[in-house]
Each structure stands twice: as C-alpha cells, then as structure tokens.
A = this chain, B = another copy of it.
Amino acid sequence: MCTTGLLLLARCRKPPPSSRTSAYCGVRKPPSLLQARCFHRSQLLRTLSLRDLPDRVCHDSPATEPAGKDPSAIALHSALPRFLRWPQPPRTVLIINKPHDEPTRVAFLEVTSWLRQSHPSITIIVEPATAAEAGSEMLDLVVADNSEDLTRVVDFVITLGGDGTILHTSSLFPTRVPPIISFSLGTLGFLIPFGIGDFRTALQNLIAGPAVPLLHRTRLTCAFFRANGLRIVTDGLDTDLQAMNDIVLHRGRHPHLTITECSVDGEFLTGGIADGLIVSTPTGSTAYSLSAGGPLVHPAVSSLILTPICPRSLSFRPALLPPTSTIRLRLSRASRVQADVSVDGRDVHLLGREEYVEVRASRWGIPCVAKGDGGRDWVGGINRTLKWNQSFVNTFKEP
C-alpha cells in the first residue's frame, strides 16, 4: 500500500556523536533533549533512522532482565504485578496502531496531540504504515525502521486497537520488551485493560508516576533442529523466536495426522497422534489452547501448557508443565506428512520428519501496564470476553 520511500514524515536531528559510546542504563548515554528537538524541514523526505535516539530509560523491573539459568529468577514471573517506577522521565514512546481502521486513526491523532501538548519532550515513534495513515499533518514522528534500535531506544509502548497490536508489539522486540500500555477501541479484553476514553489519565499515571502496576507476561522461545541436531535458521533470523501466546505444530491441510514425539527435559513424555500440539503461555491459554479444550490459566501462574489438537486418543488431557521445562516436539519418522509450525499464529517453519522444535519459557517476558492489580483485569476478561461459566437462563437469581 505505502512504501517507506514515500513517507514524508520524519524528524531531522543532529546525531550526537558520542551517543553510541557512553553508557546509560547499562547501554549508553542519552543525547541532550534540546539537540534532539531541532527540526530541518528540508530533510522531511527521508525516513529518519532510530539510531540517533538515546538509549531507553531503564525502569525498575528486574523481571525483564535476563533470568539466566537460575530457576528462582524464572519463578519471579509468577509473582503478582510489580510496579513500574522511572528513574527519570521516559523520553521515547512507540505507538502501535491497528491498521486500516478509521476509529483507530482518530484515536491515534488524539493521543499524539495530547502527548505533544502534555509531554512535548517525549519522542513519538511509529511504524511506516501508521505514519502513512496519520497523514501529512503529523510531521513530528520518527518512523521505525530497525528492530535492533527499537529495542534500544523505546521507553514504553502504546497500542491502540485489539489483541493483535500487542502480539505485533511482541514480535518487534525479540529480546528485552519495554512496558506496554494498551487501549481498546471496543470491548476490553484480556490484554487490553484500558478503554480509549481513559487514555489521558492512564498515560499521565504511566509517565509521571508515582508507580503503576505491571503484569509480567511470560513468553516462549523456540528453535528448530534437523534430525542430526543442527540448528535450522528460520525467518532469516539467528535468534530464537518469541511467542506471547503459543507455538503450534499442525497438520495444516494434510488429511493425515501428525505423529509427534514429545519429550520434556530430555525425557520421553508421550507420542502425540493428533491434528497438532500446542505449547502455550498462560497468556495464550485463552487463545488456541482454549479452543482445543485447555484450561484457563491466570498469567501469574508460571507454567507451560501442553494441549493437543484433536488427538487420536480418548485420554490426552491437557497438561501443565513447570516454567523451567524444555519441551521438544519431534516429528516422528512414522508421520506421513510434514507439519506446519506457527508462532503466535504466524507460520514460521515446515517441520520435516525427524526434525524437532524446542520450546521453553523465554527470559524476555512482557511487562504490561495493568489497571488495578492484574487479577481484576483477568477476572473481567474471562467473564466479559469469554463468557466463562454462563448460567443457563432462569437458574440463578440471588435475592
């Protein structure tokens, strides 16, 4: 629809020469904000790089730091929401929009206007498509063009739209994820506790504090291997893929069932003869896993959920495994077909016979700004969104 080359929306800035060297928040020192705000109209026709932005402000959230091999670190994910405190005010925000949606476009303009007025020092970053939809009146946007730099510079993320915007945000940050605040333009959901009508208050609290509650959502990471154990490069990436919801192995449109050997921490667990298998996060327990018969799992219950899809067994009940597990799904030699493997609903690899995928909890979770204490958002979600435990008509009237 729109190519980056056509985007006339950018900011000019004189890159601070020393910015890549001096560390700030473990990374590097920020440039002077005054420097950063000088515009050169003549440069509007090129898309500015993110590389000139300062390193992100490191918020007080140890759980997003690498967990390493220490199981107690992963266990911390199971704690209820902690609080976000800025050591200094945030300076850059990435705004992610649901595309091709007029109400979202309008909301985007309102949010950016408010940010410009209330927090003029905050740099606003958007994706090319968002910039294109915003139109020429929004000249003061930095267009995201480099995932690595995004991870380095973004202090927090605003999403406008549905759950898809958060999944997309997750995919933009293969390692450390900045705090995300999400606004719904329709019904509130699991991932979106805030209505767009409250954006001023919610953003003011997030930016100016004193502290907002965070819900740390576990992600999965996966890697693919050949029968001989050699790593398969997928997606053109040498890094592990990150999943917020789930990693799914599925027969696709082949009529034959997949036959998968499933092992945990190197030990054979079971042979799955099924349409497919899902390894899900607690967040993903209300996505595909739920459709396949899995339980509802609160995001603070640290675990991996193994749910079969239409198994050829009467007794393949879903199972919850410890967050420290490494699950290996190996397509059996007996399987007649290859299997599609998808990450958060996106096909990433066609698994051949005897190839396998290894899934484990990622050290890089997602800190989501919660409304109250996280639990409340979830309860609302399962009742309002999923219509959990709907009573039959006329059976429950509490006096």
Chain A residues with a Cβ under 8 A of chain B: 71-72, 75-76, 78-80, 162, 186-187, 189, 250, 252-253, 255, 259, 261, 264-265, 267-275, 282, 285, 288, 290-298, 300-303, 305, 308-325, 332-334, 340, 342, 345-347, 373, 375-376, 379, 382-399
Q: A298-B322, A376-B267 are in contact. Are A310 and B308 (CB under 8 A)?
A: no
Distance in angstroms between the alpha carbons of A292 and B275 in the assembled complex: 10
Best-surrounded residue of A268, A291, A389, A390 (most CB of chain B within 10 A): A389
Which of B288, B291, B382, B392 touches A386 (beta carbons < 8 Å)? B392
Q: A319-B297, A375-B264 are in contact. Are A75 and B79 (CB under 8 A)?
A: yes
Number of this chain's copies in the complex: 4
Q: Quick check: B320 and A320 within 8 Å, CB to CB?
A: yes
Residues of B within 8 Å of A291, CB to CB, are 274-275, 310-312
Distance in angstroms between the alpha carbons of A325 and B275 in the assembled complex: 29
A324 to chain B, nearest CB (A): 6
Residues of B within 8 Å of A322, CB to CB, are 78, 80, 298, 300-301, 375
Residues of B within 8 Å of A311, CB to CB, are 291, 389
Which of B275, B298, B312, B320 touches A298 (beta carbons < 8 Å)? B320
Q: Quick check: A389 and B308 within 8 Å, CB to CB?
A: yes
Q: Quick check: A312 and B78 within 8 Å, CB to CB?
A: no
Q: Quick check: A321 and B308 within 8 Å, CB to CB?
A: no
Distance in angstroms between the alpha carbons of A325 and B315 in the assembled complex: 27
Q: Quick check: A390 and B391 within 8 Å, CB to CB?
A: no
Q: Quick check: B253 and A340 within 8 Å, CB to CB?
A: yes
Given A295-B295, A315-B390, output 10 extra A-B contacts at Cβ < 8 Å.
A72-B75, A79-B324, A162-B394, A255-B346, A282-B320, A301-B303, A309-B310, A311-B389, A314-B314, A316-B389
Distance in angstroms between the alpha carbons of A310 and B250 in the assembled complex: 13
Distance in angstroms between the alpha carbons of A54 and B62 in the assembled complex: 44
Q: Quick check: A334 and B398 within 8 Å, CB to CB?
A: yes
Distance in angstroms between the alpha carbons of A393 and B385 in the assembled complex: 5
Residues of B within 8 Å of A72, CB to CB, are 75-76, 79
Which of B255, B290, B310, B391 touches A317 (beta carbons < 8 Å)? B290
Q: Which residue of B lies closest to A308 (CB)?
A: B389
A322 to chain B, nearest CB (A): 4
Which of B270, B320, B391 touches A383 (beta carbons < 8 Å)? B270
Residues of B within 8 Å of A273, CB to CB, are 391-392, 395-396
Q: Which residue of B lies closest to A263 (CB)?
A: B379
Q: Which residue of B lies closest to A350 (CB)?
A: B253
Q: A301-B303, A379-B264 are in contact. Are A396 and B334 (CB under 8 A)?
A: yes
Q: Quick check: B345 and A271 within 8 Å, CB to CB?
A: no
A266 to chain B, nearest CB (A): 10
The 10 closest A-B pairs by CB, nearest first: A252-B253, A314-B315, A291-B310, A300-B322, A316-B389, A296-B319, A315-B315, A301-B303, A75-B75, A297-B320
